Amino acid sequence: MLFSMARANQKLLAGVVGIILIFSPLASSQTNQSPGQVNAIKRQLNMLVLGDSILWGEGLKTEHKAWYQVKTWLEANTGHSVIERVEAHSGAVIERGSVDDSRTATNAEVDVALPTVNEEVDKALKFYANGSKVDLVLISACGNDVGVQNLLNASGSEEIDRMTRAKCGTPMEKLLRKGHGFWRFSLSKLPSYGFWSMAHEARVDFAMLLGSIFLLLVGAGPWSLDAQLGPKELQADDKPR
């Protein structure tokens, strides 16, 4: 159903199921440790999982869940162990205003709205004490705020568009701004600030951009692979006279 929603409003629902990957300098922690012990072990990646049943992996074995697949891929490709903390649970909504049900459950498989994703962020911040200790955040949200029943009863794409704007627009933006302790929407600590600091950080991007512009304006030339494989008359036109 989420994919149908996305087709109806791709631009807006880019945030419906957001998976945010943010790496900071390698930190270290144990998921079951107290906050004061977060720095006990070196060279580990801390992964935080927030959201609803999509990232919790409702009904799946642990090894089949999306966050676990990310964890094992990172460990295999980076050489670092990954310590996960999973706050996501089935049925989670972004804000309490989306539901009038106050029930909670200790089992994340149980489909209840609370705690909200915002409350998951608060709980995680309390655990880590410092959000910069989190190297990777996975988050999925908004689907339960809209509700499958509402989508089934919608009169058409315009009503779906209106509902998703109301439930997935501003609430999702507030959630992302609230979590600035984890994802880097705040100002990073750099040796210096200003234009040259920005230019230094983006030097590779500038080089790729200028190279692409050159190829767009001038072309790859007669010795390029596309010229060699292209029509013979074009190859003849490209030869220097």
CA angle 7, 13, 14 (to 5 degrees): 105
CA 230 – CA 210 distance, rounded (Å): 25
Alpha carbon of residue 156 to chain centroid:
29
Domain boundaries, the chain: 2-181, 195-238
DSSP notation for 65-126: SHHHHHHHHHHHHHS-EEEEEE---TT--S-GGG-------SSTTS----S-HHHHHHHHHH
Of 114, 94, 85, 237, whose CA–CA distance to 170 is shortest? 94
Q: CATH: 1.10.10, 3.40.190, 3.40.50, 3.40.91. Which one for 2-181?
A: 3.40.50
From first to last of the 241 residues of the chain, give the pLDDT tens digit: 434 444 444 443 334 344 444 444 333 333 344 444 444 444 699 999 999 999 999 999 999 999 999 999 999 998 999 999 999 999 999 999 878 888 999 999 999 999 999 999 999 988 988 888 888 999 999 999 998 888 889 999 899 989 888 988 889 888 887 766 665 444 556 666 667 777 777 888 889 999 888 888 877 777 777 777 776 655 555 555 5
DSSP letter assigned to residue 186: S
CA angle 77, 83, 89 (to 5 degrees): 110
- List strands edge to edge, sheet with 81-86: 81-86, 44-51, 136-140
CA angle 65, 75, 187 (to 5 degrees): 90
CA 127 – CA 31 distance, rounded (Å): 9
